[in-house]
Structure 1
Amino acid sequence: MDPALNLALRTAATVDLNCDLGESFGAWTLGQDAEIMPLITSANVACGFHAGDPGVMRQTVRLALRQGVAIGAHPGLPDLVGFGRRNMDISPDEAFEMTVYQLGALAAVVRAEGGRLHHLKPHGAFYNMAATNARLAESIAEAIYKVQPELTLYGLAGSELTKAGEKIGLTTAHEVFADRTYQANGTLTPRRQPDALITDASTAISQVIKMITEGKVRAQSGEEVAIRADTVCLHGDGAHALDFARQLRAALAAATIAVSAPRPTPAR
């Protein structure tokens, strides 16, 4: 690529930084929500099925509103013990109902606090199942479309979930991961497999910059896979999440990559 063109692309690049938050429950605290909130541009708030409770949801929404961070619903499977990371054999109807129920709950909290819901991103196994199962993906997209069609649907880049959202007419944000490795088909390496997580900060940051500026990611197989990076996920429950978020923001600034939440579509 011509160096001048490459510089122009880098200068024009914009990306969203999203983080899964509000995952404490009752007397148990998880993550550093207050500290990480100023470093991100959109927050995915747990809705009570895999984590979170009404009080935590309200507290997290208030934090996001104070920092001007876009607020999204983060519905998961009803599995508190497994933190929503275990697959469940659910039907498309159940996927629709789980999405509507959790979306409605968080939307009410956001409205009560004087805010406006911006997006929805499924959590954990719900997210991964919808990434490859078109029927589940279509049910989630339909739920959003029928409840609040102006919301942006966050999904794994190039997945069945983003395809379903685009098919029904939703705005979608193709998501990439800073701390996860990829397979040759563009899916994430399952957490149970070796090397699923990237623990070295410099390696993770290099992967993010490459995905944003080149539209490519190197799979575990060694081949480069085309990928669209509208939003980058930061996991807020990691031991070094806060330090990594600071390092990533600095690296994006050095690469002249702007950071902001995706613009939602006008309400229909």
Structure 2
Amino acid sequence: MARPILDDDLWALIEPLLPPPKPRRSRYPGRKPLDNRAVLTGILFILQSGLRWDMLPREMGCGSGMSCWRRLRDWQEAGVWDRLHEVLLARLRAADQIDWSRVIVDSSSIRAVGAGPKTGPNPADRARPGSKHHLITEAQGIPLAVILTGANRNDVTQLQALVDAIPPIGGKRGRPLSKPQIVQGDRGYDHDKYRRPLHAAGIATEIARRGQPHGSGLGKTRWVVERTISWLHNFRRLRIRFERLAFIHEAFLKLACCIICWRQLQNSFC
């Protein structure tokens, strides 16, 4: 039997976070809204397969691609994926699956089909339009936050923003985790201007220095963020940005991070 796209346990976490449906008019109620679970199944299918919205198979019972697009837009605006991410991180911490000894930052550029917000000339792709995924993970590679920018934005400009974007992680008694002990990064993050605010906040940095020979030893621990970026790009919709509207691509990014957290949580009980 094929593995379902959306399993029951994950849906049980997501359903309470969805905004209530708009009230229907009593005289002319119109067509009955599509089932939320069916629509989310269609959204996940697009995320994993990379198909265009208008190619969503009708036999899946998910409605039209445009119906799924609208629901994804509404749920992104309602902050559903941010809240789901916090819930999953708290559950991971409760299962002792969060290693807070350090966090690691990295980024990856992708091609963007056409222009739009948060795109820019990609210096690694002959100045074609592109976007960049900036990611921060904990020590095992669990995604903590992700930021979308144009491909021409320097990695180091998002260092402080990534640290600030880490949500408070509950799951245990006491104060939620929010401030990491150490931030690790490659040479792309080597700039004292961006180190100083972290040091002032009591956060140490382990960032390779430009102009120094390779062999800093950071690769032994920093590789996990590269693996997580690979996990993100296993979702085919994230390999190339087709969405002109940035917040739709950001919705896919955040949903993919939630799926990765969910898989890690499932593996912790195996």
Normalised by the length of structure 1, the TM-score is 0.28
Normalised by the length of structure 2, the TM-score is 0.28
Structure of higher CA gyration radius: 2
